[in-house]
Structure 1
Amino acid sequence: MSIGPYVLTEKEFVNRYDLTYPFEERGLQFGDGVYEVIRVYRGNLYLIEEHVERLYRSAAAIHLQVPYEKEEMYKQLKQLLHLNDFTTDGKVYLQLTRGSAPRDHVFPVGVQPNLYAYVAPLSRKHSLMKNGVATITQKDVRWDYCYIKSLNLLPNVMAKQAAKEQGCFEAILHRNGKVTECSSSNVYVVKDGAIYTHPAEKNILHGCVRMRVEAFAKETGIPFHEEAFHLEDIQYADELFLSSSTAEVMPIIEVDGNTIANGRPGQVTMQLQQAYEADANIPMSDSIFYVQ
């Protein structure tokens, strides 16, 4: 993955090789910060307003000031793509921390936040979205404020690594058997034509694509219930899928070695995939229903 040469900071655009911070950086030492990952299609930011809104919500939740007003942030992120002459599929990673200061648990006074954003290529996962993926289940051991998109991701990293070591795409997390979300995505079960997923409360991240999935369901007449399901519900599911900015709408065809339904992506999931592609202005030549 090749990161674009220009990086947005809290003050200006700089060459990525010139971007440095002191080793006493609170994001590095405390995970004291928040972040966003914004999908880019053909050089266009997808769901930029939703991502920026969530960035501000996460920052406010930890009493952190964003150095740009929202409208200015939109302009700066678009300028980031322009300066890097970025016209393909990719992602923008944006990170904001409380800044650099001598190490102390309490918030430093008079310290400017550190912000940086970069763009990098990211191709669509055509084959996986077309055929589905395998997952495992893991106990959710994260903190109680998962709605904050913070830098404290060690439990997520451990769960994702466990999935990889078992040849799987994701780990479905649960608390006492109640499914919350995945290590880096939201998760949904489909039963009798209706979608069920954990309510957008503090125990899950309020995914930007999750919000669009709910909208797509309503637009196409698919019942959408913010109602948590349990591990035992998975074995009786008609369909299972996950969503995120990098995975889009991804069918799950296997959990802990057990096949979901007939082992193929279901009709509801494929309807949502089609709605996603239309919403993101994906050309037919790049559609998962067209690309072999």
Structure 2
Amino acid sequence: MKFVKNADLGDPSANKQNFIDLKLKLLCCRYWLLNLWDCHDMVFPFWRLYWNKNSGGQLIHQEQIFEMDPNHIYIIPPFTSFSSHYKKNHIYNEGIHVSGKHLTSHFNENDYNDKYLIHFFIHFNLGVPFDNVYPGILKIELTDYLRERLEYLTERLKIENKDFKLTFNLKLQAFIKEALTNIGPELWKAINIDERVLKVIRYAEVHISQKLSNTEMSSLVNMAPNSFARLFKEEMNITLHNFIQNRKIAKSCELFEHTSKSIETVAFSLGFSDRYHFSRVFKSVTGLTPAVYKSGKYT
């Protein structure tokens, strides 16, 4: 047997194809019974997908109120400011207040339909540049395919909530990707941004643990700092400084989700001078302190 290396990647056609590299990263996926969901002015550096099996949940973005219903899923892009309520138990008008429990196979969902919100959610990232799309709340009608996937995912989550098998992971990723195909093209303007901006974004992702200055970033593309700052703002609808801060906080959330590192360790690993500076930036971006986020007492 002769091993063939490269050989034009085995493609017999001379017609070159260009694919978009989507780096889907799963952060968490849970199925809960919520009896309190009073969360106000939350902002997170990752995508959130919500589905409620029963009615009673609300999402609020700016002046728009979404009455959540079982026939739709709701997708919230990173850095969208939003609030949530469970109308049957709405107590607080500020802060983050959540209580509930994991829904397992020992529960009969019908017994909790009137007193709890039966709540499925996923947190995920898509990678650069797709984690920097325009904010908002996207309401997507459930297709038969999405509904079948939801039934499978929620039933599996009632049985296993920690160590997921390959089949579950593949079906969860397929569910997310299928849901994303229902988003309009206006959301995906990031794929057409200026190559100079993309180069700086990619550099920042690789060197996010360092202190990154406007001068250093602009020199990568041979532009004056002020000129590049204007270009970046025009292309990304955010200043370069705020973008770098957002990406650092996004990385810190990832570390809190997947490691046991302390707040101090995470702060220093991302180039912050001390925990207090990091905490101020973290709260300005997410609306939560690092300690509250690390505790996981939110959805």
Higher relative contact order (CA 8 A, sep 6+): 2
Question: Which of these two proteins has the greater Rg computed from alpha carbons?
Answer: 2
More helix by share: 2
TM above 0.5, yes or no, is no
Tell me which interval the TM-score lies in, with the shorter structure as reference length: under 0.3
TM-score, structure 1 normalization: 0.25
